[in-house]
Amino acid sequence: MKYSRQIRYYYLRFTRLRGEPHELALGIALGVFSGMLPIVPFQMALAVALALLFKGSKITAALGTWVSNPANWYFLYSYSYRIGAYLLGVSEKSVIFRSVMESIRQGEEPLEIIAKIFGAGGAIMGSFFVGGLVMAVVCALPSYFIFLNIFQRLRNWRRRRKG
């Protein structure tokens, strides 16, 4: 019972977001973009800064960063490293990469994981960031169009409901 009430609350909050569909969808896309980058403690700050710069919704930008969450960090970091390593020609079987992935698996603090990535050296760190950028662009572009459609439908639904 408690969960259904909470779900309803967040559903109502989502349907009551104010703004043009373009700015709301742009905010989500910028949040997804930032959420795909391996900068865990700074994703939301980057998303909001980008939303300010590109005139997107700051609220939906912050919401979009939750595409990256503790439940899927392992997969995001793993794929971002593998994609980046492939593109940069770096070995995928790095000891440091395994150490970072083990830290994520054990649930270490995000700042400790980021410190390991930054301490790994240029090629390993570059692999994480290049792969993250590729994943960010690949995921952010469709998210803009998907959420633009959702927010346009939501606006039309509100107009029909008002009469």
Tell me the domain boundaries of the chain: 20-162
How does residue 31 score in pLDDT terms, banded at 50, 70 and 90?
A: very high
Looking at per-residue confidence, does 22 or 7 come out higher?
22
Closest CA to 121 of 146, 158, 91, 163: 91
Predicted structure pTM score = 0.82
Mean pLDDT of 108-131: 80
- Rounded Cα–Cα distance for residues 63 and 17 (Å): 12
- Higher-scoring residue by pLDDT: 6, 24: 24
Rounded Cα distance between 35 and 136, Å, is 8
Which residues, at least 6 apart from 96, have a Cβ–Cβ distance to it below 8 Å?
116, 120, 121, 124
* DSSP-H helix ranges across 16-121: 21-36, 43-54, 58-64, 73-88, 95-106, 110-119
Most confident of 8-17, 20-29, 39-48: 20-29
Contact assessment for residue 55 and residue 67, using Cβ atoms and an 8 Å cutoff: no
User: pLDDT confidence of 30, banded at 50, 70, 90?
Assistant: very high
Q: Poorest-confidence range of 56-60, 88-92, 110-114?
A: 110-114
When pLDDT is averaged across residues 104-114 and rounded to a whole number, the result is 77
Q: Is the pLDDT of residue 110 over 80?
A: no
* 85 neighbors 131 (Cβ within 8 angstroms): yes
Question: What count of residues does the chain have?
Answer: 163
